[in-house]
Amino acid sequence: MTGTDTPPSLYAPQEPIFPRRVSGFFRRLKWWIMAITLGIYYLTPWIRWDRGPSLPDQAVLVDLAGRRFYFFWIEIWPHEFYFVAGLLIMAGLGLFLFTSALGRVWCGYTCPQTVWTDLFSLVERWIEGDRNARVRLWNARWDARKWRLRLTKWSVWLLIAVATGGAWVFYFTDAPTLARDLARFDAHPVAYVTIAILTATTFLFGGFMREQVCIYMCPWPRIQGAMMDDDTLTVGYRDWRGEPRGKKRTQGAGDCIDCMACVNVCPMGIDIREGQQMECITCALCIDACDEVMDRIGRPRGLIDYLALSDEPQERAGEAPKPLWTHILRPRTMLYTALWSLIGAGLVFALFIRSDIDLTVEAVRNPTFITLSDGSVRNSYTVRLRNKLGDARQFRLSLSSDALLRIGLEGSDRNIITVPADSSTMQRVYVTARPHDRAASIDATDLRFWVEDVENGARAYRNASFNGRVQ
Amino acid sequence: MSQHEIDEPTGVDTTGHEWDGIRELNNPLPRWWLWCFYLTIIWGVGYTIAFPAWPLINGATAGLLGFATRAEVAADIDRYAQQNAGLTSALAKVELASLADNPDLHRFAVANGAAVFRSHCSQCHGSGAAGAVGYPNLLDDDWLWGGALAEIAYTVKHGIRNETDDDAHYSQMPAFGDLLEEEEIAATVQYVLQISGADHDTTLAQDGAALFEEQCTACHGEQGQGDRSQGAPNLTDAIWLYGGDTTALTATITNARFGVMPAWGQRLSPSDVNAVAAYVHGLGGGE
């Protein structure tokens, strides 16, 4: 135990971080991922998809008011929400898979917090310069130049933030219409409030909170520990190669020349040479930085690298590590892959067997039957037909049963139900057994309702039961 | 106690607090986190001022914003009423015979009528409109006062045998216990069973035929087929409002029946009367 006189602070200060520009394989990969993910986010609402005259022509649209989800050729109704649930489960399992194989690869490459922070840092570097210039600016007095640079940076950040919040609302209603309404200031207040909130969070999280979000706000880093093991590849430092640190020419020194490149490029402000730690999002920029230095001093690359903990003993002993695939292909990752594929295949299967005719039959149970004046027994059913197409459809309703039963529709002499485009219709249907037929006096008779599309002959059925008058 | 120490295994500061040799590690939070915590407290206090919160003896503080869920519901109802104002006034004025020609108005009427039925009619006729002994089943094809849309609307509006509406349907069956002997009533019962196609005593029914001819045909008709202008039930069908066995028929003939229905025109708006009539008409028995 060591003692000092000043009591420790109970609050952690936010240390300013000035990540240096770096280039290399992982940096290029991250630029590409940033371009693709941001491109998908900003452009998707503007893709058009023709679905006929009475349906929206936006390829991806979450129509909350109309309770429809459109995704290109797929249209999901509320009762098919299991597709969305399935996709969420797949997303979860996918995260498990990637985390158990590659550690916090989600955090380092694709998490929106990382992507937008990267974008904000890029803007920062353009306007205020690289690390050293920014450190100087940080320490400088608030003179005209500092104000100009800061205000420029904040303005560009704000523009990005507005575009980010703005893009979000386009997913929920027709994008061109909303864009026009937004510009004319007569869009719904909810749109403006949503944009304002998302603008504020983007501006704050991407510009000022950055690593604080990952360390103190996000629950995911804590959960991920449970998904990683000795075989998981994470960013690490080969201390058996690097230590002891020293100048290039010093006798007996390791490869690490203590140039601080890995620390200076780190967006989380940590030293990876202290080992894997909670703050590390495995963005791999330190690998790029160190490789650059190793090239320059003529030492092999990979002092900082993607490493598995289980390889450490061999590597320390100077032996070759296990081949990469043994870290990736192991029961755990295969199980995650199998589960992921199983659910994916199930969803695709469910998507393809989705009937073109969506039909439910609900027997009226209050009362189960009634007697008509001629002594016939009648049951009522509520038939609900959904038409997911862009044109009105006509369906012919009929029934089949071993017993003699007659079908009739409320308010219609014909057994035809017309369902308008993209909507559902409820129809009250009557089934009658004559007084002396067996069905009229026994408890239950099986029957099957058939629905046939008048135009294309597609058929669907639902089983039901007919209740007779039991003395 | 105020001296702080480094805990060796973890390398973390301790707060200097110690209980029975157990020291508290200091893993500090950032200050903004603390400020967020204070902010939620301030927000919470503000919230209880702005919204209904503090319980008092009779109710709770109203809150500066005057928010109330009841007021919200009332506003919602007003909003829907306003949205439907056109349909409501059209429904109040519509010629009922032609209601089916206007699908939108008809759909509105049936949906609205279902709500009216559940709040005002289901107490007697049942939530499924299947009725009960003495309260007609509205699902079948048997109507005492007529099953056309306009006739149903009239019955709903003016009611039956009530004292509040001069236009209410009215008729009264005599209590034959005062007029006939018990044997005569028994014979009439057997005849009624015969014409309705039920098991009966043929000898008694023959006597009953003459009594029926004499006492009942004025209202129930020569063949017992009933008369809707007087609300006299058809005795030849399979439907019995008060029961079709010997005991029930004997009670009916001896004491007569006097079913009353209120005049809903005095309580419901004209459009609601038409709506509930459309709903009942669409339950399967409408003519």
Task: Kindly write down the DSSP assignment for every residue of A237-295, as one continuous string.
Answer: E-HHHHPSP--TTSTT--S-----HHHHH-TT---GGG-S-TT-----HHHHHHHHHHH
The answer to whether residue B273 sits within a structural domain is no
The answer to whether residue B85 sits within a structural domain is no
A143 vs B: CB within 8 A: no
* Beta-carbon separation of B29 and A378 below 8 A: no
B130 vs A: CB within 8 A: yes
The answer to whether residue A369 sits within a structural domain is yes
Distance in Å, alpha carbon of B181 to nearest chain A alpha carbon: 31
pLDDT per residue as tens digits for the range A194-230: 999 999 999 999 999 999 999 999 998 888 888 888 9
Predicted ipTM of the assembly: 0.81
Closest by Cα among B35, B235, B219 to A212 = B35
Q: What is the CATH number of the domain that holds A409?
A: 2.60.40.10
Q: Looking at the structure, do residues A394 and A279 belong to the same domain, yes or no?
A: no
The answer to whether residue A261 sits within a structural domain is yes
- Which of A243-252, A397-406, B151-160 has the least mean pLDDT? A243-252
Chain A positions in Cβ-Cβ contact with residue B284 (cut-off 8 Å): 370, 378, 380, 410, 428, 430
> Which of A178, A207, A225 finishes a domain?
A225
Tokens of A253: 């020194």
Considering CB atoms only, which of A4, A371, A380 is closest to B4?
A4
Angle, helices B85-93 vs B69-83, to 10°: value is 60
- Alpha-carbon distance B132 to B186, whole Å? 25
How many structural domains is chain A composed of?
3
Q: Is the dihedral of CA A201, A206, A210, A213 positive or negative?
A: positive
Q: Looking at the structure, do residues A363 and A312 belong to the same domain, yes or no?
A: no
For range A351-355, the mean pLDDT: 82
The answer to whether residue A53 sits within a structural domain is yes
Q: Looking at the structure, do residues A218 and A291 belong to the same domain, yes or no?
A: no
The answer to whether residue B24 sits within a structural domain is yes
Q: Looking at the structure, do residues A153 and A218 belong to the same domain, yes or no?
A: yes
Q: Looking at the structure, do residues A107 and A29 belong to the same domain, yes or no?
A: yes
Phi, psi of A399 (to 5 degrees): -135, 155
A16: Cβ contacts below 8 Å, ≥ 6 apart? A138
Domain with B22 in it:
1-68
Phi, psi of B135 (to 5 degrees): -120, 115
Domain with A311 in it:
229-324
Tokens of A394: 């006509």
Q: Residues 365-394, chain A: which have Cβ within 8 Å of B?
A: 365-367, 370-375, 378, 380
Report DSSP letters for B196-255, one per residue.
TT----HHHHHHHHHHHHHHTHHHH-TTS--BTTTTBPPSSSS--SS--SHHHHHHHHHH
For testing contact with chain B, the best of A214, A372, A377, A434 (most B CBs within 10 A): A372
Q: Looking at the structure, do residues A53 and A202 belong to the same domain, yes or no?
A: yes
Distance in Å, alpha carbon of B92 to nearest chain A alpha carbon: 21
CB B160 within 8 A of CB A391: no
Considering CB atoms only, which of B30, B31, B284 is closest to A430?
B284
Chain B positions in Cβ-Cβ contact with residue A9 (cut-off 8 Å): 28
Q: What pLDDT sits at residue A243?
A: 84
The answer to whether residue B56 sits within a structural domain is yes
The answer to whether residue B39 sits within a structural domain is yes
Q: Looking at the structure, do residues A86 and A117 belong to the same domain, yes or no?
A: yes
- Alpha-carbon distance A186 to A194, whole Å? 15
The answer to whether residue A35 sits within a structural domain is yes
Phi, psi of A95 (to 5 degrees): -65, -45
Q: Looking at the structure, do residues A275 and A418 belong to the same domain, yes or no?
A: no
The answer to whether residue B287 sits within a structural domain is no
The answer to whether residue A347 sits within a structural domain is no
Q: Looking at the structure, do residues A137 and A182 belong to the same domain, yes or no?
A: yes
- Alpha-carbon distance B163 to A437, whole Å? 45
Res B10 pLDDT > 80: no
Q: Residues 206-235, chain B: which have Cβ within 8 Å of A?
A: 234
Q: Is the dihedral of CA B203, B207, B210, B216 positive or negative?
A: negative
Please provide the average confidence, as pLDDT, over all residues in chain B: 92
> Which of A181, A196, A225 finishes a domain?
A225
Q: Looking at the structure, do residues A249 and A118 belong to the same domain, yes or no?
A: no
Q: Looking at the structure, do residues A233 and A367 belong to the same domain, yes or no?
A: no
Q: How confident is the model at residue A471 (pLDDT cuts 50, 70, 90)?
A: low
A471 vs B: CB within 8 A: no
Q: Looking at the structure, do residues A41 and A176 belong to the same domain, yes or no?
A: yes
Tokens of A37: 């993910």
Distance in Å, alpha carbon of A13 to nearest chain B alpha carbon: 6
> Which of A277, A300, A324 finishes a domain?
A324
For range A231-249, the mean pLDDT: 88
Closest by Cα among A451, A441, A284 to A376 = A441
CB B223 within 8 A of CB B143: no
- Which of A151-155, A245-249, B9-13 has the least mean pLDDT? B9-13
The answer to whether residue B275 sits within a structural domain is no
Res A81 pLDDT > 90: no
- Alpha-carbon distance B215 to A18, whole Å? 109
Q: What pLDDT sits at residue A65?
A: 86
The answer to whether residue B55 sits within a structural domain is yes
B244 vs A: CB within 8 A: no
Q: How confident is the model at residue A5 (pLDDT cuts 50, 70, 90)?
A: low
For range B213-232, the mean pLDDT: 94
How many structural domains is chain B composed of?
1
Considering CB atoms only, which of A11, A374, A430 is closest to B238?
A374
Q: What pLDDT sits at residue A383?
A: 94
Chain CA centroid to CA A257, Å: 42
